[in-house]
Amino acid sequence: MVLLAVAAGCSRESPEQAVRDRIESLQEAVDARDAGDVADMLADDFIGNDGLDKQGARQLAAGMFLRYRDVSAKLGPATVELRGARDAVATFSVLATGGSGGLLPDSGQVYEVETGWRLVDGEWKLLSAEWRPKL
């Protein structure tokens, strides 16, 4: 019994890794062009640049997916810092591109991103995001 308890405890994902996995899931939702999945990862009180809320973020994602047939987000390594047991901050860079299916994207930009995360009912939700063009 003790060995089973120890094994179960060892297989548990660290909070830092759980946040990294959620960031990866967010990238996958963008790559899949799924605005609903993007919105599902946001906290109800999400806030982004210029007061962007959860509904606005969903609409922004949907608009980008309609405008560009090919949308891609390539993330750099994330740094995750826990702030207590239920909050975390993650920073990373992202290359965001959108195109019409040709060899080169129609538009692209590298951003420096700082995100805030909160553990809600056992799941990490994106609480805030601030992005600044890097180039």
Non-local CB neighbours of 49 within 8 Å, separated by 6+ positions: 129, 130, 131
Distance of alpha carbon 133 from alpha carbon 114, whole angstroms: 12
Structural domain harbouring 77: 13-133
Lowest mean pLDDT among 39-43, 65-69, 96-100, 115-119: 96-100
Q: Is residue 2 part of a domain?
A: no
Question: Residue 75: which CATH number?
Answer: 3.10.450.50
Instruction: Write down the H helix ranges in 41-123.
Output: 54-67
Across the strands, what pairs with 112?
Answer: 93, 132
pLDDT reading at 6 higher than 50: no
Radius of gyration, alpha carbons of the chain: 17
Distance of alpha carbon 50 from alpha carbon 122, whole angstroms: 29
Tell me if residue 100 falls in helix, strand or coil: coil
pLDDT of amino acid 2: 37
pLDDT of amino acid 97: 85
pLDDT reading at 31 higher than 70: yes
Average pLDDT of the chain to the nearest whole number: 88
Q: How confident is the model at residue 135 (pLDDT cuts 50, 70, 90)?
A: confident
Q: Is residue 103 part of a domain?
A: yes
Q: Is residue 55 part of a domain?
A: yes
> Which pair of structure tokens corresponds to residue 134?
């890097």
Domains in the chain, number:
1
Q: What is the pLDDT of residues 71-110, one digit of tens each?
A: 888 999 999 999 999 999 999 999 988 876 555 566 788 9
Q: What is the pLDDT of residues 59-69, one digit of tens each?
A: 999 998 988 88
